[in-house]
Structures are given as structure tokens and as C-alpha cells.
Structure 1
Amino acid sequence: MRNLADTEPNETPRDGQGLRSSFSAWIQDMREFLKGRFSLEDDKAQRDEVVANISKGVVFRGVNLWVLIFATMIASLGLNVNSAAVIIGAMLISPIMGPIMGIGLSLGINDFDLLKKSLRNFVLMFIVAIVTSTVYFFISPLSSNSSELLARTVPTTYDVLIALFGGLAGIVAQTRQDRTSTVIPGVAIATALIPPLCTAGFGLATGQMRFFFGAFYLFFINSVFIALATYLMVRFLKYEKKIFIDKTRERNVKRLMMIITLATFVPSVVIGFRMVRVSIFEASVDKYVAQVFNFPQTRVIECSKHYAHGHKPSQIELLLLGEPLSEEMVENARNQLSGFGLSETELVVRQAGGEERIDVASLQQSYGELLEEKNRRIGEMTSLLQRYRVTNVEVGDISREMGAMMDNIRTVSLTKGITFDTAGTPGDTTLVCVVTPSDSTRTIDRETLIRWLRVRTRVDNVKLFVEP
């Protein structure tokens, strides 16, 4: 019989080894589970099929070229009338991603013939879109800077990330056997390639070069990082490379791609950080103005926020109406700037009675124009509502008059509305009258009743139905 003290030292290592073996097995099972979940091998298309499909979308000729022109016109119209829905529609039908994905694919598989074809069509696509949008905005009677136009003139780091992840989603969808999913249309909307080109055309047509350069830079960022995402996914899927004899040329092209990527990413990071700082600054100013300039007899009617630029410090400019504030009160407000994180910010207060007079006439004109524009839009919407709304008629009075005119009428039902055709186009107003006779054996003079209803309701199109 073994002594317990003699067996414990020998059994403990076995237990520890068993635990380590169980943990290793669990880790292996978890690794296999995750590998199976995140595997891209399911529904994977053949390499040659993917290359042929992307290569087909690279060429702008015939249908693709005309669709690009039409998509550019639609996007330009959407930007002009400030309609996000129209812009989204243009992004969905635009074939603009073909050459960009072709560039990334060609770099990933060392197909430099495809690279040259993609670059040629990329340049052609750019020229056609710019010329089309420029011509449109040159002849368009609307030339205001809408919010949709302004939103596509300042690229940020977020645009880089959107283009990168959008490009990854797009190439993953392209490498599947089933390409009928909504991924590619979604990528087209997210990366927004056609609107910046149209905005650049707007800048050229109106002579506002800041629009052109800002929008072109945004388009360039999106293009570079979609191509980069395509290249990375192609290499991740380990697509077979084409044999290329000149290794030096291959290395030079890859270096050029890296330089372009860094040249676009670094400025985007700087702009992105500045935008975040500007947003924080503006939020602090709003909080400061709401809390410090809360006076019962004085109102802040305009607040201009200017973030620091170069050696010029940040500035808050307030326009006040009502009872003028004393210099001590204004100075006290300046002393509270540091409490809101605005210690380096200048405060300029303009109010009636100060050294600088407020141009009330100009201010009234500006607000009058704004009010006039809002009233015009309200009028348009009211007119449109009246066009489609079904209106009631004076059924009670008409029913009594019809009963006095014809003694064989028991009940009357009247409805007035708009007649639409199958295409949804509104037509004339129609009056529908349903009459129930008191005695079904006696006839009702339909023609007389229809003529009377036309005169009484002033509706030419009258439909009369007599219930049996």
C-alpha cells in the first residue's frame, strides 16, 4: 500500500499537465471557430473571374460613358437644388469606381497592362465628369452655395477612413460568386465619388477655386484609399501575381503608391484634428454665450465664431439688441472666458449706444430676405398640398336643396377629389355623387341633376351614381 505523502508530489505535475493540455485544446478549438467564422473562402469566386469582372468595369466606352455623363448631370442637379435624395441616386448609378478598383487590383497582381488601362480610363472619367458639371453649372441659373456643395469642399480624416473601409467592403463583394448584394451600391453611397467632382465643376464654372481644390482633394483622397483597400484585400486573399521581368519597375510603382498615400493621409489628419478643435471651440462658445449673456432686457441676435488662424487668435463677436450693457458688465463677461476653456479668445461686443453703430436697416433687410425666402417655400408647399388634398363640399345644404328639387331622393353622398392617371399625374377635380331614391320603381332625372350639380358645385366633371 502506497503512502499518501509519496503519491502527492508525483500526481500534482500530472494534474497541471492535464490542465495545460485542456487549455491548449480549448485555445485551438476557439482559433478554429474564429477562423471558420471570419473565413473568406466561402462563396469565393475564382481569381480569373474576379479579374475579368473588374477589368470589364474599368473601360469607359459606350454605355458606361453615357451613364457617367447622366450620373454627373443628376448629381449636379442635386447639388444645385440641395437635394440629398437626388445626389444619392446619382451615386448609385455612377460607374466611377471601376477604374479605381482596377488600379488597386493591377498593383496587387502585378498586371501593369491593367494598371495603364485603369489610369487612362481614370483620367478620361475625371475629365468627362469635370467638363459635364462645369458646363451645367455655367448655364444653370442657380449659383448659390448650398449646404450639399459646402459639405464637399473640406476633406477630413474621416473621409480617409470611409474610403478605406468602403473600398475593403467593395472588393470583398467583388470577390464573391454572388454579386447581387447591396454592398457595392452601399459603398458607392458611402465613399461619395461623383459629388466632389461636380463640386469641383461648380468651382470652375463660378470662379471659386477654393471649391475646386477642396472638392478635387476630397475626390483624390477617396480614390487613393479605395485603390489601397483593393490592393490590401487582393494581397490578403493571396491572388497569384503575374510574372514581371523588370523588378525595378515593379518596386518603383509600389513606392509611388506609398508616397501618394502618405501625401494624402498626412494633410487629412491635420485637417481632421483642426475640425475637431473647431467643433469643441464652437460648442464652448455656445455654452458661454447661453450662460453669461442671459439678460432679461438684452438679447444676443447674432454670434460670430472665428477660430484661431495663424497668428490671429480666436474671436467671439456678439451683436446685442435691447438695453445696452455697461462696460463693467462686458469686462466681467470677458473675465469669465477662462472658465469655459476660452482664455485665449477675444470678445467683441457690438450694441446700440456704443461707439460702433449697428446698421439696423441692413440687418432688417437681411432678415427680411430670409423671411421672404421662407414664406416662398411655405407658399410652394401649401400650393402643392392644396393640389393633392381632397376637399369637402357642403353636403348638408346640397342634400336639402336636392330634396326640395326632387321628391324621390332619400339620401345623398358627395365627395370631391383629384383624378390621377396610372402614372401618378394629377388631373381634373371630380365630384362623385351617390343618390339613394325613396322609391326604386320611380326614375330620377339624371341629366337634370348632373347639370344642377355642375352649376351648384362649380365642378365640370360630375359622376352620378343611383343606387337601386
Structure 2
Amino acid sequence: MYKKIKFLVKKFIERNASKINHEEVINTIVKESEISVGYFGFLIVANLIALLGLIQNSAPVIIGAMLISPLMGPILSFGYAFISGEKNIWWKSIKKLILSIFLTIVIAAIVTIFLPLKNITSEIISRTSPNFYDLLIAFLAGMAGAVALCTKKNYIIIASGVAISTAVIPPLSVTGFGIGIGSFKIASSSFGLFFTNAVAIIISTCIMFLLYGFKPRTITGADISALKRRITYLSIVLFIISIPLMYTLYKSVTDIKLRMNIEKILKQEFDKPGISRLSYFNLQKKTNSIDLYATVNTTKYIQQDNIKTLEEKISKEIGYEVHFYIEQVKVQPGGLKEISIKEPRILQKTSPEIIQESKLAIFSVVKKSINKIEEIISPSRVDNFSIGFQEKIPYIFLTLKIKRDTPISEEQVQWLRKMLETDLSTPVELSIEISPFVQPLVFDKGETSITDEMKSSLLTLREIYKENNQILIILESIPESVYPYKKRIKLATERLKNITAILTKEYGIPDKNIKTIISKQASHRAQIKIKVSVE
């Protein structure tokens, strides 16, 4: 069987090799490996278009960037050099690729820093969660590019150029975006996607060049051995990077199945003709639990006991602790009916009742928008908010009191304001007040033990960690100035040790999520300042 397959592959290579003008293809590859101002000009323009398309969440704009991206050339040149072993093309293509990657990331990062809005859109997020399908897309794109180059068919060259750019330009632009906003997670995840795609494209390119009869110019035993080693090493790299991608794909499929299972249970419970119907549901998955939100149109009120029973049923079915939040919309059985009212009796409401109802209605609408904001600014929280109106000004005056240890930039304030205006459909004058998650812990002279009041305030950190296990807790110990240097440093170290022990042993926060610092500046009273940030 193996010999038969080997014979068929050999015949296929011989038949296709005779149809290809190898010298013409090689000349094209040599030209593509050369560095030129025009190449980098097109690359910069494509990068900027892709970056703006990603931030605007516009797929057509991103596709436009792919149409003019010239990155296909050096990648195919590298694939050819990998097969032929021609060192001159090899080094030229590597140099061109490295410069292209560096320039694309740096320019995207610089432009992002100066952009007024830095929205993390779904198009950006999709480039930070690579899976095995992305690897397959890149592999097929590389095959198409090599076929286009060898057959010299323009329509295939254009299409394959777009396909290859799909796999490399947007991830590099997102890498620069991540650096620009200071998010290592976004930058590293998107660069991992680029690296995965690049390796897959190079391997598929090598395969197609082999099938079209390209090989080392001088065929010796050493050349063949070197070629086999190169292909083996590259295949091992591809296999290694495909393992986490398979896991990501498995996780995505698991999440989809989880959602479908929950939807099935909800529909079984609520889709009852003439009685109730599930109109909407969404879920938010946390570390060990799921928050489930549902809206149900119903002709009669669903009792709280039934909701609790359903919550327990879903928890048992999916293996997660479920917190179920349901919104019931009362509807008319059989649809709207004409009702004849002879003499309607109007119930007069008192002023306090009118004010209270208006207040509850306004607060309910604003609260929904604030819930969205909290998801975005996590682990920060909106601790409280206030709303004001003026008779002759068409604005809502909204003040958010946010628990947060880092300041909010003017750009972020404007972005939050626009988000609120979109949700509320009215102009908003937004002001934000920042207060720390935990107030500084102040110690008496020479004291290092942690009081019950201090422990109680540290509970906030446990709740934040449960919501987002990526947080970093920075403990800065400021020693008292009344003692000599060695003693105050010893006391400051002991305080840090005691607080760290409470956070790790009693509150279950890992050591890797805690960073301790002893301040060089002393104070009249010893204290520990606590700051929470996202890694």
C-alpha cells in the first residue's frame, strides 16, 4: 500500500512538474524576497486600514486591508527557500518577514496610543482566541498561494493573497493594538495566532512546492537529509502549537454545547402554548458558577419556588452552580382583545407615589447600562450612582462612584458616556468619582497583627478574585518613621507577611496573584496601601 501511494505521488509530481516553468517561478520568488519602499508603503497602509476596521468592528474594512496587503510574497519566498535550501533567498525572506512583523506591530501600537477610542470589539476578541480551525484556514491559504505562484493564474493569486493576509495581517494589527492599550493578554494571544498561522502557511507552501517538482538545486545525500530535517522540525513545531489550539476548540465546542443544553432546559420549562414562552436568555460563565439571565412572556406569574426548583435542576444537569435571574413579562392570553369601557375610573396618585414610580423606572433603565459597564471595567465596580435633571437642559446628569485603584482616562470617560447615551437614547453629562477597593490599613506604633476590622475590609479582595482570577493585588507597606531603619523594615515586612497569610490561607488567593513592596518613604504612622489591577 505504501509503495503504491509513493508511486502515485511520484507520478503526480512528474506530471505537474512538466507543466511548470520553474525558472520563471524562481525569478518571481527572488523578486518577492527583495526589500523595497513600495512594499513597506503598501504594508503600512494595509496595517492601518486593518487596525481601524478592527476598532470599528467592520469586517468589510478589514477585508479591504487584506486586498492590498503584500505579505504573501515574503512568506512564499521563505517556503520556497525552505524546500530548495537556497541560503540567499532564505536570509532575504527572513529579513523581510522580521522587518514586516516589527514594523506592523510598532506602527499599530503607536497609532493605538493616539486614538481617542480604543474599543475592544468582537473582531479584536476573535483574534485573541485561536483554535484548530484557524490553523486549517492558514494551511489551506498557504496551499492556494503556492498553487497560484506556480500556475501564474492572476485570479488565484489575488484570492490566495487575500486568504493569506486574512491569517497574518489582522493578528499583527491586534498585537500592536494590545501593546498600545497595555494589554499583554491581547498582544500575546494575537501574536500566538499569527505565529501559528505563519507556520501552517509555510508548511503547506513547502508541500505544494514539492508536489510541483521544486527541490534543492544540487541533489546529494546531505541535501536530502537536511531537507528532511527542516521539514521534520517545522512539523514538530506545528504539532506542538496545534495542541493548545485543539484544547481551545474543545473549550469552544463545550461552551456551545453548554449553551444549547441550557436553552433546551429553559424551552422545555417555559415554552408552553397559551401559557408562557422564552423570549430571551443569556449566560455569563465564571470560574465555578454561571449567572443565567432569561426573559419570559407569560400569562400568569411564575412562583419563586418554581424558579428555585428550575435553578437547582439546571445546576444538576450541567454540573455548575447556577444563579438564575428571570424577568417576567405579563401578556394577554389569546392576544389583544377589544375591551369596552363605559366609564373609566381614574385613580389619582399622590405626589410621593408618582415620584417613587418615576425614580424606580429611571433607576431600572440606568442600572441595566451600568451592568454592561461593570462587565467591561472588571474588576472595577460601580459602587453607587446618582441621577440629576434640570428643567431647561436636555441632559441627564449622571455621577458614577466606582471602586477602582487606577484612574480612568478622559478617553475612557468619553467612551463610557457614549455607551450610556446609546443605551439611554438621551444626552448624558457624566462625572466619575474613584475610591479604592480597600482603604489603607493603619497600624498602631510597633503593631504588626491584623485586627478583625482589617480582615473584614480584606474580604473585598476575596470577592474580586472570585469574579476575576486574573487580578494582581499589590501590597505596599509604608513603615513608621519613629524607629531606626532596620527595625521599621522588619516591622513592615512582618505586616506584609501577616496580610499575605490571610489572603492566601483564609481567602484562597494564590501567591502568584499577590505582589509585596516596602516603600522607601516612611510615614508618621505605619500603613499598608492596597492596589488591585488586572495582569
TM-score, length of structure 1 as denominator length: 0.62
Which residue pairs with 2:158 in the alignment?
185
Matches within 5 A, 1:139-178: 139-176=114-151, 178=152
Alignment correspondent of 1:61: 36
Q: What secondary structure is seen at the aligned counterpart in 1 of 2:284? A: strand
Q: With the length of structure 2 as denominator, give the TM-score of the two structures.
A: 0.55
1:229 equivalent in alignment to 2:228: no
CA distance in 2 between counterparts of 1:185 and 1:221 reads 23
Q: Find the structure with the greater CA-based Rg.
A: 1
Q: Decide which structure has greater strand share.
A: 2
Q: Would you say 1:114 and 2:114 are equivalent positions?
A: no
The 3-state SS of whatever aligns with 1:175 is: helix
Tell whether the 8 Å contact from 1:71 to 1:93 is kept in structure 2 after alignment.
yes
For structure 1, the 5+ residue unaligned runs are 1-30, 353-357, 378-468
Matched, 1:126 2:175: no
Aligned residues: 332
Residue 367 of structure 2: aligned partner: 363
For the 8 Å contact 2:109–2:176, the answer to whether it is kept is: yes
Letter of the 1:344 partner, please give it.
G
Q: Mapping of 1:9-24 within 5 angstroms?
A: none
Distance 1:364 1:159 in 2: 35
Q: Judging changes above 3 Å, is the alpha-carbon distance between structure 1 residues 319 and 298 closer, same or farther for their aligned structure 2 residues?
A: same
Aligned with 1:141: secondary structure? coil
Q: Secondary structure of 1:342's match?
A: helix
Tell me: CA distance 1:100–1:91, structure 2 relative to 1, closer, same or farther (3 Å).
Answer: same
Q: 1 CA distance for matches of 2:301 and 2:188?
A: 44
Native 8 Å contact 1:298 1:324 kept in 2: no
Give the match's secondary structure for 1:99.
helix
Aligned match of 2:63: 88
1:291, 1:360 → 2: CA distance?
A: 29
Distance across 1 between alignment mates of 2:240 and 2:143: 21
1:238 to 193, 208, 213: 213
Q: 1:74 aligns with which of 41, 49, 53?
A: 49
Q: What is the CA distance between 1:169 and its match in structure 2?
A: 1.2
User: Is contact 2:46-2:65 (8 Å) kept?
Assistant: yes
Q: Deviations over 1:226-256 (max 9, x none)?
A: 1101111111222231337865765553443
> For residues 351 and 70 of structure 1, do their structure 2 counterparts lie closer, same or farther at Cα, with a shift above 3 Å needed?
closer
Q: CA deviation at 1:316?
A: 4.2
Q: 1:291 to 1:124 in 2, by over 3 A?
A: same
TM-superposition CA deviations, 1:5-52 (whole Å, max 9, x none): xxxxxxxxxxxxxxxxxxxxxxxxxx99xx99x96468x332121122
Q: Which residue of 2 aligns with 1:355?
A: none
CA contact (8 A) 1:57 1:95 kept: no
Do the aligned partners of 2:203 and 2:235 also contact (CA within 8 Å) in 1?
A: no
Maintained 8 Å contact 1:110/1:244: no
For residue 234 of structure 1, what is the amino acid of its counterpart? Answer: F
Match 1:258 to one of 235, 248, 252: 235
Aligned partner letter, 1:116: W
Distance in 1 separating the partners of 2:295 and 2:215: 70
Separation in 2, partners of 1:244, 1:113: 18
Map 1:254-293 onto structure 2 (within 5 A). Answer: 254-293=231-270
- Residue 105 of structure 1: CA displacement? 1.0
Gaps of 5+ in 2: 1-6, 328-360, 373-395, 397-417, 427-535
TM-fit CA distance, 1:64: 0.5
Q: Which moved more, 1:192-201 or 1:54-63?
A: 54-63
2:293 equivalent in structure 1: 318
Cα-to-partner distance string for 1:298-344 (whole Å, 9 max, x where unaligned): 9887632327x6xx3x6243367999854531343145438xx9341
Answer whether contact 2:54 2:62 (CA < 8 A) is retained.
yes
**Distance of aligned partners of 1:204 and 1:244 in 2 relative to their CA distance in 1, 3 Å threshold:** farther
Secondary structure, counterpart of 2:127 in structure 1: coil
SS at match of 2:293: strand
1:332 and 2:336 correspond:
no
Deviations 1:250-304 (A, max 9, x none): 5553443223212222221121122112112122223333442569699887632
Instruction: Find the counterpart in structure 1 of residue 22 from structure 2.
Output: 47
CA displacement, residues 117-148 of structure 1 (integer Å, 9 cap, x when unaligned): 21121111100100111111111112011121
Query: Hey, what's the Cα distance between the residues in 1 that align with 2:295 and 2:81?
Result: 62
8 Å CA contact 2:148–2:160 kept in 1: the answer is no
**What's the RMSD between the two structures over aligned residues?**
3.8
- Aligned with 1:92: secondary structure? helix
Matched, 1:304 2:278: no
- Residue aligned with 1:239, SS: coil
Partner of 1:426: none
Q: Distance in 2 between matches of 1:365 and 1:232?
A: 53
Is 2:75 the counterpart of 1:104?
no
